[in-house]
Structure 1
Amino acid sequence: MSHQLAVDVRGLRKSYGDQTVLDGVDLAVRAGTITALLGPNGAGKTTTVGILSTLLSLDGGTARIAGYDVAEEPENVRASIGVTGQVSAVDDLLTGVENLRLMGSLHHLGRHEVRERADALLAQFGLTDAARKPVSTWSGGMRRKLDLAMTLVGSPAVVFLDEPTTGLDPRSRRTLWDEVRALASAGTTILLTTQYLEEADQLADRVAVLDRGRIVGEGTPAELKSAHDAGSLDDVFLRLTEPSATGADPTTGSDHTTKEVAR
């Protein structure tokens, strides 16, 4: 594996009974970049993230995160990653600073380091003024930023963002985009799943489209749009994941129709 690959997935397979969810997925994410993983409902995106974050076991293939094998070295993988899911991990009854300090304690940071890390993250995300107010009084955008800040307490090398801006208004969404860009610029590797194709177009260095358990398209947003003579990633996505008028899409072998991009 190249030392430059923060995520190195080869031939990943996962089944539940006779249902194949992942059917030989290959995915390579270079360190310090943002990759968006797109796919229709049931394509296997959340299963992929679950395996890479050691929450689910794999049935075949290999996956390495920050150089560590997810099956053989799960503790090292967990120490190298941060995960922000669709459901917020913040405790509404606590203040912002209390949430961050609690997370620091869970990462076994020393008391002084916990305080320093919490204060630094509050400042980084523009949350210092509200830090000592209960999170229940915060706006949705502020809560989402706190959620991301909590993911970063342990200074992970790789961050998985599973639809991080779902439910946010456009202004809050774009503010979070800025934070994600800043993380990547500082060297953090980000694997992003999103239902907003504009988000992938704006943020991602590379995009991978997952359909029926396989990667059916991969490249920079510009490369994908050029290759499919498409004006937007929406058009690329539909061409890769929907059947053509004459039958199955020759790129995917797909014989199903779906327009919704979801988990």
Structure 2
Amino acid sequence: MRSIRVAQRLLELWKQKLSGRERRLLIECSQGEEELLLEVYLSPEFGEETGPLVAVSSPGKLTLHGADEVTFYHNFVKAINKKELSGRPPTVWNEKLGGDQPCHQWRVLYKLPLKKRTVNLQWRILHVRQVAFSASLLAGGKSIIGPFSKDTTLIYKHVPTNIGNAYNPTTGVFTAPVRGVYHFEWHLTAEGDGSHASGGWLVKNLQNLFVAWEYQAAGFMSSSNGVMLLLEVGDVVFVRLAANTLAFDNGSHPTTFSGFLLFPM
């Protein structure tokens, strides 16, 4: 609410500085008779309304509107880059607002030639959720897991890092919060008994994709693997202990599952 009040105050200050000529110019632009102004927007918390901050709701009347957060950011980026783009060729605004010295209150409203793709990338880098987790099977003690007659989901209960809370320590399942490329690693340790290997499948949406596998008759054995996956929002990734194999974990946490968002798409 505070950001809304600040924006409303800013709008009132702008409106007080507008001359009759500038008001008419704004109305003409809103009606499509001149080159369009860059629209400046409120924060997305302003209800469900959408539209430019300064708009014409009826002939001769300026009103306040809200906007979605991406559009707000697009225009914010344009405004803060105005100095770097100040040397661009003259436009219709130079003539209509006073030649080489346009009115200061309008400078932030100039349409600047930033590429939409660049603005979208800036938005994603700054505002997409940060996602990273790392977990091991046991929070304490030691235990041998398996063998089971079928592939069985491993639930990693010791979770020192879970930025974004995309990993669920109750189910062992990671759920992608945004579309993007993710990196995953999983490591398994077990003691060879001459009969069982140690193997774990990385699973995406119930489909076994990649395996970490090791077999030796005696002594501790370990296996590891790492992959990058393009995930859609809501895709799930987890590790299954392969049928008839073993895993082991203790206070040193040798059996782990980790992942992070590399970049959004």
With normalisation by structure 1, the TM-score equals 0.22
- Asked which structure has the greater RCO (Cα within 8 Å, sep 6+), the reply is 1
With normalisation by structure 2, the TM-score equals 0.22
Query: Whose helix proportion is higher, 1 or 2?
Result: 1
| Rg larger for | 2
